[in-house]
Amino acid sequence: MFRILCVLAYFNLVLSDPLNTYCCLEEDGILSENEALCVNPVNESKKAIRFNCNNTVRLFQKDYNFTVNDDESATIYIGEQSFLQDAGSFCAANETTNNTLKLLLFCEMEEETTTDLVLSYCMIVSAVFLALTAILYCALPILRDLQGKSIICFCVSLALGLIILAIMKLVEYSDMNLCAARGFLTYYFMVSSFFWMNSISIQILFRIKRPSVPDYGWRTFSWYALYAFGTPALITIAMSIVNFHPGKHQKPGIGLNTCWFYDKRQQWYYMYSVLSILMAINIAIFCYLSVYLWRQTFLSTHVKELRYKFGMTLKMFIIMGLPWIFEMISTFFEAHIIWTVLDIFNLMQGPLMFIVLVVLRKRVLKALYKSGCLDCVSGLVERYLAIAEDDEEIVQHTIDVPLDDKKHNNI
């Protein structure tokens, strides 16, 4: 049964053109027992069925009940669950002239593809760079302020999500309980990384009207952690209840027959909808911040610092959010090499995040330089740091007056 469900979840990606609802027209005869051919038993003529794959699989009605609907879609019943297959993604046929042996014909999913391997290795590379970023931020005390701790949690969440997802693709499994655990953990950490991205945006929003004093404590961070770790946990628990509760409702399918969502419908219901809401909130925050900060005519170090952190957070959002937007759009189209390239870019977020959060952030380079970690390239680092001032440097006389007070007092 698991193999059949894998085929049903995959067939939309391997069919290039819509098929007729029925594999063989009346004049073409019946379906061949061993090949994807229509055979006319009268004149022994053969006609190939259009499938963009080498191997096909057959779902017999005597084993799995199914019905072909009026809109040329098919409903397949497996136990208490029903799965709707889109029109043009299968064909129905008979293997006998008396119409007694009915079946559906699909493309067979390959056990392992080059694309899956490439994507899995990209996930691992990305996770390594995210882990390296988190380690550097943990090792340097000056970076462990409120935003730094949030960046650490963001990197760790995204890295764990990618690692578990890569394991799901690379390692075979036989225990569906372990399969379910991996699926729900991947979902939790992926969604949690988006909540941490949202938390970092909210932090910059709140800092507009507050003194720009670095917060190295744990009290404020604990509230953000409760939001960014707790909310995804509640969503994941609720989804697991829906998933394992008996009934014919729309279930995610994680751990029931596959390790991940059954198809794109379930992925939109339970994952993409949440991510879309978070990205919409972030975009609204960024629009407000961009207008507010660039209207400030008095360029204090506080404003410069906020502008820099806003720019850095915006880059993080683009690196993380834009590929996911394309990922969501791709669910409405057939498989294409363009979407594969975008998937690879999506999974290379780690190196790009490392560049933005470490290589291009002078505060990090200064801390690494002072700790002696960059002695081998000290000359290059000194020249880079001397090119321009660090916008994150805070001058004492600017940290005690909020922006609105500066405006009213003409400071």
pLDDT band at 107 (very low <50, low <70, confident <90, very high): low
Helical H segments across 17-113, by residue range: none
Do residue 100 and residue 118 come from a single domain? no
Sheet bearing 65-68, strands edge to edge: 65-68, 74-78, 81-85
Backbone dihedral angles phi then psi of residue 258, each to the nearest 5 degrees: -140, 170
Do residue 292 and residue 228 come from a single domain? yes
409 lies in a domain? no
Pull the structure tokens for residue 48: 């190939």
Q: Quick one: pLDDT at residue 81? A: 65
Cβ proximity of 191 and 252 under 8 Å: no
Cβ proximity of 403 and 303 under 8 Å: yes
Do residue 221 and residue 244 come from a single domain? yes
The more confident residue out of 373 and 97 is 373
The more confident residue out of 163 and 32 is 163
Q: Quick one: pLDDT at residue 334? A: 66
Q: Are strands 30-31 and 102-107 parallel, antiparallel or unpaired?
A: unpaired
Do residue 96 and residue 218 come from a single domain? no
191 lies in a domain? yes
CATH assignment at residue 288: 1.20.1070.10
Q: Is the pLDDT assigned to residue 395 strictly greater than 70?
A: no
The 10s digit of each residue's pLDDT in 335-390 is 666 766 777 777 788 899 999 888 888 888 888 888 777 777 777 777 777 665 55
The more confident residue out of 385 and 109 is 385
pLDDT band at 30 (very low <50, low <70, confident <90, very high): confident
Cβ proximity of 143 and 137 under 8 Å: yes
Do residue 143 and residue 184 come from a single domain? yes
Do residue 125 and residue 245 come from a single domain? yes
Q: Collapse the DSSP code of 65 into the 3-class scheme (helix H, G, I; strand E, B; otherwise coil) and give the result.
A: strand
User: What is the count of structural domains for the chain?
Assistant: 2
411 lies in a domain? no
CB burial string 89-117: b at 16+ within 10 A, e below? bbbbbbbeeeeebbbbbbbbbeeeeeeee
The more confident residue out of 213 and 204 is 204
State the average pLDDT for the chain: 76
35 lies in a domain? yes
Q: Quick one: pLDDT at residue 198? A: 93
CA dihedral 13, 16, 22, 25 (to 10 degrees): -160
134 lies in a domain? yes
Q: Decide which of 107, 129, 149 is a domain's last residue.
A: 107
Largest Cα separation within the chain, whole Å, is 97
Do residue 151 and residue 200 come from a single domain? yes
Q: Quick one: pLDDT at residue 162? A: 92
Q: Decide which of 64, 89, 107 is a domain's last residue.
A: 107
Q: Quick one: pLDDT at residue 36? A: 66
Q: Is the pLDDT assigned to residue 402 strictly greater than 50?
A: no
Cβ proximity of 392 and 305 under 8 Å: yes
Q: Quick one: pLDDT at residue 78? A: 66
Q: Is the pLDDT assigned to residue 221 strictly greater than 50?
A: yes
CA distance 308 to 128: 26
The 10s digit of each residue's pLDDT in 161-186 is 999 999 888 887 777 788 889 999 99
Q: Is the pLDDT assigned to residue 22 strictly greater than 80?
A: no
Sequence letter at residue 197: M
Do residue 74 and residue 223 come from a single domain? no
| Averaged pLDDT for residues 228-248 | 91
Q: Tell me the torsion sign for CA atoms 117, 120, 126, 127.
A: negative
The more confident residue out of 64 and 409 is 64
